[in-house]
Amino acid sequence: MIEEENNLISDDLIDEDDEVLESRLQQLATEELNQIANPETSIPEGSQGSATTTSESKPEVSKANAAAAATLDKINGLIAESTSLREQLDDRKQQYLRLYADFENFRKRTERDKEEQEGTITGKILKKILPVVDDFERAQLQISPKTDGEASIHKSYQSVYKQLLKCLKETGVVRMECVGQDFDPNFHEAIMQEPSTEYGEGIITEELRPGYLVSDDRVLRHSLVKVSSGKIDGDDSASSENATENSSGESN
């Protein structure tokens, strides 16, 4: 009878939380123990019983009390085991969360290092290609085809030059525009400085070798430039040139 009641009570408690379940189990076990210890409370009023029957039921009551006590001890043991298992589960959960966080940090750091390494390798390769672009541009400025054959050759290598520029652009390489801008050592390399009639001090007057950037605005190659040391008037420049010519003529 006790086992049937326990089964019915356990079915009702399946969906409850662990703490609520433990509290209910303790409460039910205590109530059951008290009921067995005081069986007269469950006897309906008006029922007839002799003293002999009461005395004969005492051994049964003692056995029931012992069984109830054993059941209560078993429930307390199960509650303690459940508490221990829950603490172990919480500890394993915390370990899992820490390991997962460490793994995510490792994965992100590995991806970042991989991207930086790929960017470094790509930059080295592209820097090797830039002198070839410079040679194409110098050839374009210096060669003037005079015959149809020379024009055909000129057109052929210029098509190669355009294809090369297209590949660089698709890779993310961008040529700097520096003439007329302020000199910035982060992007430019000055190899000459002289007065200018057009630009003020610190302004780039001429590009001697083009500079290039990659897609994330990193400098692939600095621009070699000429920088103005200060703006001068055109008349003063002409007068100084005439004075120089006159002095050289008199010395002759």
Question: Which range among 43-57, 72-86, 188-202 shows the weakest confidence by mean pLDDT?
Answer: 43-57
Average pLDDT over residues 71-89: 84
pLDDT per residue over 206-238, tens digit each? Answer: 999 999 998 767 888 999 999 998 888 755 544
188 and 213 part of one domain: yes
18 and 76 part of one domain: yes
Structural domain contains residue 200: yes
67 and 18 part of one domain: yes
Domain span at residue 14 reads 1-39+62-128
124 and 24 part of one domain: yes
83 and 29 part of one domain: yes
pLDDT band at 17 (very low <50, low <70, confident <90, very high): low
* 3-state SS assignment for residue 83: helix
Query: How many distinct structural domains can be found in the chain?
Result: 3
CB atoms within 10 A of CB 18: 12
Structural domain contains residue 47: no
pLDDT per residue over 168-181, tens digit each? Answer: 888 888 888 889 88
Say which DSSP state 220 is in: E
157 and 183 part of one domain: no
Separation between Cα atoms, residue 67 and residue 61, nearest integer Å: 10
123 and 91 part of one domain: yes
Q: Which residue has the tokens 């209910």?
A: 24
Structural domain contains residue 48: no
Structural domain contains residue 51: no
